[in-house]
Chain A
């Protein structure tokens, strides 16, 4: 197993955001975290990225426990819901960021960074936008820049928080197909958060349905829709 989460608990004041959650994700898998708002999806993503810390439980990536590793050393790519692009940097500088902040001994040369950025932008099909600023491109393009920026550091795990939430329906459909193809081509392991069951069933290898910080069911899209584990899942998948 690539990612192992065991009995994760996380409380904000009196409320439990994660309530004894366990989940495994296989290498190369594309897993959807599905659930209503407040079910703990985003908290789980932030915990994995190291932006929040669990009260108890363990997380291992590739067999290495990481729950106490600081975010900057985790090598996990996170694409934020509203992209969080650096607004005062060009698209190219955004993508280069993760490479440029590396300590000198393992930082690629300026030329190598430039090549890598060009290659990534080409892969995202936005090769001509390198010189633009985030406020000069469309929502769908920003999404691709955010993805390129996260992938530049070659993360072991890619996390996507409502990746299509801010986009209109048509762009959303195109990006879905494209993102899934990209995942397969690059051999990524990805977890993406959504509250849209059609999106989850359409894209994911497996779907995990969350409620109140616990997992109600994890299975293939087919199995989840045909054999819902309980009434909540049945209601939610409808």
Chain B
């Protein structure tokens, strides 16, 4: 879509050009302090964030690319990758739909209990992931509330794909809803009301008015949701049962390899996960830029 860009504000911190004056000296000192602070922050970032990432890749490639790729081609590695993708492919779309619905209710309507619901949506973020997994074991495990019934009907939830999906959905639920609620409140319902008075039905309003207005923010939420769904460890570890080649997702497989001293394998799979993180980061920056542009273009 061809759209105008808002004028960029000139950088307030841009160095002041001009002939040297007595005041110049004090300015130099301030600049020096600022540079020092920035330097410290950058080195801390390098040690805490960049170094581990670099180490993962160097360890994975320490015996050469061939060996690393061989580790990824193992049937068990391949099964872990497939399982992770399957879990994300089920959990993320469901959360995208439910999260959008929840954000729509909270963002557009006033009703008793709205504040409570908003807090409740954040619950998975404040609960330890282990508990998020344990809940499902308590409900559907062999000794759980529905365990005996499920066993009689030969349905497996815990230690199988459904359990992994449930645990992942619970942990990643807030992402889409949270990225939409404030935006939808800010936008208000006026455009939807206008569409209604012009004769549009509910579905037409959603597809033609609501969805385009929240599209980029929703994609942002989906992106974060997906990154977490593929990277989740704690909740998934509880419901997985650790059956190699069957219920190990990529993060769990990394741990299993690591415990068996299979360094190259562990770091190769970890490197693959890190690449996902880097792609997520890049897409995230792109989306943030896009959302900011839309927001400043608000009418």
> Count of chain A residues with Cβ under 8 Å from any Cβ of B?
32
Give the docked Cα–Cα distance between A80 and B297 (Å). 19
Question: Given A84-B191, A133-B3, A72 and B297 touching (CB < 8 A)?
Answer: no
Q: Is A113's CB within 8 Å of the partner chain B?
A: no
- A135 adjacent to B191 (CB under 8 Å): no
One of B196, B200, B208, B299 near A85 (C-beta < 8 A):
B299
- A51 adjacent to B197 (CB under 8 Å): yes
Residues of A within 8 A of B199 (CB): 72-73, 75, 98, 101-102, 153
Residues of B within 8 A of A33 (CB): none
Residues of B within 8 A of A72 (CB): 196-201
The secondary-structure label for the interface of chain B is helix
Question: Given A101-B201, A101-B204, A135-B298, A51 and B193 touching (CB < 8 A)?
Answer: yes
One of B195, B198, B299 near A135 (C-beta < 8 A):
B299
Residues of B within 8 A of A150 (CB): 197-198
* CB of B109 to closest CB in A, whole Å: 13
Give the docked Cα–Cα distance between A97 and B4 (Å). 23
Give the docked Cα–Cα distance between A97 and B194 (Å). 10
Give the docked Cα–Cα distance between A153 and B280 (Å). 45
Q: Is B118's CB within 8 Å of the partner chain A?
A: no
Of B4, B191, B299, the most chain A CB neighbours within 10 A belong to B299
Q: Is B64's CB within 8 Å of the partner chain A?
A: no
- A135 adjacent to B297 (CB under 8 Å): yes
Q: Is B209's CB within 8 Å of the partner chain A?
A: yes
Q: Is B190's CB within 8 Å of the partner chain A?
A: yes
Give the docked Cα–Cα distance between A97 and B191 (Å). 12
- B197 adjacent to A77 (CB under 8 Å): yes
* CB of A150 to closest CB in B, whole Å: 8
Residues of A within 8 A of B193 (CB): 51, 71, 78, 80, 84
- A153 adjacent to B190 (CB under 8 Å): no
Residues of B within 8 A of A78 (CB): 193-194, 197
- B190 adjacent to A101 (CB under 8 Å): no
Give the docked Cα–Cα distance between A70 and B204 (Å). 16
Q: Encode contact with A along B1-25: 1 for CB under 8 Å, 0 otherwise.
A: 1011000000000000000000000
* CB of A235 to closest CB in B, whole Å: 32
Give the docked Cα–Cα distance between A136 and B299 (Å). 9
Residues of B within 8 A of A82 (CB): 190, 299
The residue on A at minimum CB distance from B211 is: A88
Q: Is B212's CB within 8 Å of the partner chain A?
A: yes
* CB of B4 to closest CB in A, whole Å: 6
The residue on B at minimum CB distance from A78 is: B197
In the complex, which residues 71-93 of chain A have their Cβ closer than 8 Å to any Cβ of chain B? 71-78, 80, 82-88
A interface vs B, CB < 8 Å? 49-51, 71-78, 80, 82-88, 97-98, 101-102, 133-136, 142, 149-150, 152-153
B interface vs A, CB < 8 Å? 1, 3-4, 190-191, 193-201, 204, 208-209, 212-213, 297-299
Q: Can you report 27 residue pairs joining A to B where beta carbons are below 8 Å apart?
A: A51-B193, A51-B197, A71-B197, A72-B196, A72-B198, A73-B199, A74-B197, A78-B197, A82-B190, A84-B193, A84-B194, A86-B194, A86-B209, A87-B298, A87-B299, A97-B195, A101-B204, A133-B3, A133-B297, A134-B299, A135-B3, A135-B4, A135-B297, A135-B298, A135-B299, A149-B194, A152-B198
